[in-house]
Chains A and B, each alone.
Chain A
Amino acid sequence: MITTVNAQQRSGSSPMAQSPRSPSSQAPYLTVSVSDPAKMGNGVQAYISYKVITKSNLPEYDGPEKIVIRRYSDFVWLRDRLFEKYKGVFIPPLPEKSTVEKFRFSAEFIEMRRQALDVFVNRIASHHELRQSDDLRTFLQVDEQTMERARSMEIGIFKKKPADLMQIFKDVQSKVSDVVLGKEKPVDESNPEYEKLKNYIFQLEDHLAEAQKHAYRLVKRHRELGLSLSEFGKAVKLLGDCEGNALGKAFSELGAKSEILSIKLQREAQHLLMNFEEPLKDYVRAVQSIKATIAERANAFRHHCELAETIKFKEIDMNKLRLMRSEKLAEAEREYEELKADGAEATRKFERIVKLMNEEIIRFQEQKTLDLGVAFHEFAKGQAELAKGISEAWQSLLPKLESCSS
């Protein structure tokens, strides 16, 4: 049995972080990491590439270790393929594309993206359904050229039949409208529990988005406070130079401490960004991924309903033809059987989605409690350390000040 890799791998920049559960190396494992971002190309064409290191003893995977180079659009490809194939599963979310050119290559952004991509791949590799995907294997194993070819055939329209094309368009349309309207189309499952879940998901997104917004602002506040403390320290030092004597020295000390604390604040800002704000953002993305799955389920349901309708009408037609002893009967019967098979398939697909979603929601909630718990811990720890540092720094000034007034 493949062991489950859990949350700790989220920040697994070192591929060795996760060791196999059982001491025996015969136990199957699959560990992945994303690291070493590097800038490739020039000008407008420039992009960042990442090293993806896979360690596995599974037969489908090459050797104990395989390293490939991937870029952001490759990850997008993987996500889209999984979304197509594994309807009902909450596909792990990807970090957003950056629209601001300047920001695209900032160290901060790159590191945040790398971390998020690492989390993404690890979640896939630890999901009992997704990890078995061929697309994952392709992603983790093939060379860059093959990957590029696969990526450019993303839509794969050349492989599909025209009828499927229409369906795809319809699906895209309905997906868009679902997302835009944020709600289901008139055809609904009349499943009160599911309705409740949908409501929950939509409202949850709003609440989370707000929390994330404030978390981001808090990061900014730390930076601003650090900056103004630094400026204040400099001004106070100058003032101290004017005063001279013990008071002047005290002023200088104050300035020096301010500078130290300013640095602490900047560091805490970064720490907050990576370990608190980013997990919240990730949570929001995850909820959006669920919304996409909800849309898929609605499509599947609609499809199943439509087919059921079509089958009914076909049956009526068929019976009519039977009565009329028409030659078309045989064909009609054939078509009827086909439709019934399609219908069964659609129903099967839909029911599978339902089953998967039920499992997924439990997994999701548990995962999120864990993820948030870690994030909260980091947040509290960071704030406690910062405040303590501030208190100690200022404390050290007091004896000097006492001597001033004597």
Chain B
Amino acid sequence: MMGPETNKYPRGKRDDEEEEEEEGRGSEGIHHPLSTAEQMQTLTLDEGNPLNGDVSTSKSYSNYRSAMTTLSSSATEHPLIPPPSIATTPTVSDPLLFPPHTPSPDSPSYADVIYSPFHDSVPESNGNGEISNEVTISSPGSQSSSSEYLKISVSNPQKEVESSNSIVPGGNTYITYLITTSTNALDYGGSDFSVRRRFKDVVTLSDRLSEVYRGVFIPPRPDKSVVESQVMQKQEFVEQRRVELEKYLRRLARHPVIKKSDELRVFLTVQGRMPLPTSIDVASRMLDGAVRLPKQLLGESRSVVEPHEVLHPAKVGRDMLRFFKELKQSVVNDWGNSRPPVEEDDKEFLKKKEKLWELEQHLTNASKQAESLVKAQQDMGETMGELGLAFIKLTKFENEQAVLNTQRVRAADMKTVAMAAVKASRLYRELNAQTVKHFDTLHEHMGLMLAVHNAFSDRSSALLTVQTLISELSSLHSRAEKLETASSKIFGGDKTRIRKLEDLKDAIRVTEDAKSCAIREYERIKENNRIETQRLDGERHVDFVNMLKGFVTSQVAYSERIANEWAKVAEETSKYTKESSS
């Protein structure tokens, strides 16, 4: 049975896959997170409306559509994942991106999630690849990423006024930045783009990416607040932010997985209001979650975790009940007497994690020391320059006031020294400018550690979800057992009890689905972690080698030049040592 909106999907071949799918196709397989069983009908009907204002639907949709995106795009990029062998259908502005669709039970997207290309046993990898057509980088995996480029610049900050919804007359002002992109990536459907975005949009982009690309080392975005924003001139602040934004977007564009993401593409290309759900929408779901919770507790609405929900971590507002269940599980993990049902047992991972935290510590330290080294070099150059200037003034003075010839001789000596000092000062400063650039690598990698932390905590929260579901299952089973034994004693059965048992059996089914889903998600994240860790190690090695080479080479070059300058002066003043010893 297909949802009414299926024909709206550009992906036509869903039907085939649906027949192949068996798991999780329970009658009420997927429930919209916000709807009760009764409401589902209404919602399904609504789905045809592309301008459905229910943003949350779009959220959940894009959630695992993007999760699927991740899977498939990773498929094309990561060497370990077999690339999908699908004909490509590049899409330009994907209508799908804007109007969200609620996944129906038959929705292939749900299927996509469950049958990820990460799993070797998946027969549907073809389908996945096809599904992901509109969002995959066009070429089959054989294309190397080096011939493809994505160049981004941030410029032209402008003040704009927030027109609507302001309590304060005159409105809020904010700054927008011009973001220009030039690319030859096929799925961008064009080579040059130019959009205006504000910082809030960047925050949204960053938030959406971290929800979708769990387990990936996503470059951290620039900070929201600047400590000295009061002290700094508005202009300086804006300029600093512009630089940071550019760096951030370029880092995203360099990341082999993120550069292929829908979210980034939308951010870079879609004119006007950015169509990614904002964090405000997320916040509004907090209210929904708060509304939902009492109903769940009273048993009026579903309190089971739906399979698609496990693709994102439990958020306090949105998934209150689930959040609390997982919180309880984590307490049991830490303080309970028995071991949790499933544990982090990947020893290599644990070892690697230790090493990474050690690295982080040393990186932080080295980064700090590099900063003070740069400052010391800077000071040296400055003071040398000041000394040179002082001598130049002295030279001029002696020459003007000279009465005796010996004064002119001295003035000439002084000038030689002064010129050398000024030159040396300039050389120190040039050297320092280069040193700063080289040491940037340290600061960059230090910043990346935050991304690693996030990716690892994605993993642990996914694990927690699995553990919670397993516990939930066992408690459901025991409740069902009790009910069965109870009703078998009463002949004829109690209508309410029978219904309760059926409900429980439903819940068990759904929860089983969710558990499988969660396990798959967990495995997916683990794999992302592993791949990313390897990638980062390799990148870091290369970056560090280049940093050291650059640093050492420039030190050698400039020190030599400085030595030459002073050697000349030493030569010219050597007569004084000979004279004194005569």
Residues of chain A whose beta carbon lies under 8 Å from any beta carbon of chain B = 6-8, 196-197, 199-200, 203-204, 207-208, 210-211, 213-215, 217-218, 220-222, 224-225, 227-229, 231-232, 234-236, 238-239, 241-243, 247, 250-251, 254, 362, 365-366, 368-370, 372-374, 376-377, 379-381, 383-385, 387-388, 390-391, 394-395, 397-398, 401-402, 404-405
Contacts and interface: CB of A to CB of B under 8 A. Distances in A.
A286 to B, nearest CB: 14
B366 A232 contact: yes
B369 A235 contact: yes
B407 to A, nearest CB: 6
A222 B366 contact: no
B580 A374 contact: yes
A200 B380 contact: no
A373 B569 CA distance: 11
B377 interface: yes
B491 interface: no
Given A369-B413, A376-B569, 4 more contacts: A243-B544, A251-B544, A373-B413, A380-B570
Nearest to A217: B383
Given A207-B394, A369-B406, A387-B560, A374 B577 contact: yes
Given A365-B404, A376-B569, A380-B417, A228 B556 contact: no
B559 A388 contact: yes
Interface in B375-409: 375-377, 379-380, 383-384, 386-387, 390-391, 393-394, 397, 401, 403-404, 406-407, 409
Interface stretch (B249-257, B333-341, B357-365, B528-536): B357-365
Contact of A383 (B368, B424, B555, B580): B424
Nearest to A200: B401
B577 A377 contact: yes
Contacts of B552: 254, 394, 397-398, 401
What are the 6 A-B residue pairs with the smallest beta carbon separation, nearest first?
A373-B576, A387-B563, A384-B566, A391-B559, A380-B569, A377-B573
A380 B544 CA distance: 35
Contacts of B401: 196, 199-200, 203
Contacts of B562: 383, 387
Contact of A228 (B373, B548, B573): B373
Contact of B404 (A7, A231, A362): A362
A16 B376 CA distance: 42
Interface in B471-510: none
Nearest to B410: A369
A199 to B, nearest CB: 8
B573 A373 contact: yes
Interface in B117-163: none
Contacts of B553: 398
A228 B387 contact: no
B376 A391 contact: no
14 contacts: A211-B390, A228-B373, A229-B373, A232-B369, A239-B359, A239-B366, A247-B541, A251-B544, A365-B406, A368-B410, A373-B573, A376-B576, A395-B556, A398-B556
A242 B359 contact: yes
Interface string B307-326: 00000000000000000000
A391 B560 contact: yes
A248 to B, nearest CB: 10
B383 A232 contact: no
Nearest to B416: A376
Contacts of A214: 383, 386-387, 390
B410 A404 contact: no
Contact of B376 (A224, A387, A388): A224
B580 A376 contact: no
Contacts of B576: 370, 373-374, 376-377
A221 B541 contact: no
Contacts of B542: 405
A381 to B, nearest CB: 5
B466 interface: no
Contacts of A362: 404
B420 interface: yes
A231 B373 CA distance: 9
B397 A387 contact: no
Contacts of A373: 410, 413, 573, 575-576, 579
A218 B373 contact: no
A362 B405 CA distance: 10
Contacts of A388: 559-560, 563
Contacts of A6: 580
B563 A384 contact: yes
B235 interface: no
A232 B372 CA distance: 8
Main secondary structure of the interface of A (DSSP, over half): helix
B369 A228 contact: yes
B574 interface: yes
Contacts of A250: 545, 548
A387 B387 contact: no
Nearest to A398: B552
Contacts of B566: 380-381, 383-384, 387
Contacts of B573: 373, 376-377, 380
Nearest to A388: B563
B314 to A, nearest CB: 35
B567 interface: yes
Contact of B366 (A236, A384, A402): A236
A396 B117 CA distance: 50
- Give the residue among A217, A235, A250, A254 with the most B Cβ atoms within 10 A: A235
A95 B365 CA distance: 43
B406 A238 contact: no
Given A236-B366, A377-B576, A388-B563, A369 B570 contact: no
B41 interface: no
B373 A387 contact: no
B559 A211 contact: no
B559 A381 contact: no
B355 interface: yes
Nearest to A383: B566
A9 B394 CA distance: 27
Contact of B545 (A215, A218, A366, A401): A401
A231 B414 CA distance: 35
Contacts of A404: 545, 548
B581 to A, nearest CB: 6
Nearest to A258: B373
B295 interface: no
A207 to B, nearest CB: 5
B437 interface: no
Nearest to B561: A387
A228 B544 contact: no
Contacts of B352: none
Contacts of A402: 549
Contacts of A401: 545, 548-549, 552
A373 B580 CA distance: 10
B327 interface: no
A388 B383 CA distance: 20
B175 interface: no
Contact of A207 (B384, B393, B545): B393
B370 interface: yes
Given A203-B397, A215-B387, A379 B548 contact: no
Contacts of B567: 380, 384
Given A225-B376, A387-B562, A247 B570 contact: no
Contact of A370 (B373, B390, B579): B579
A254 B548 contact: yes
A247 B362 contact: no
Contacts of A232: 366, 369-370, 372-373
B394 A211 contact: yes
B446 to A, nearest CB: 11
B420 to A, nearest CB: 7
A197 B402 CA distance: 10
Interface string B407-437: 1011001101100100010000000000000
Contacts of B556: 391, 394-395, 398
A206 B459 CA distance: 69
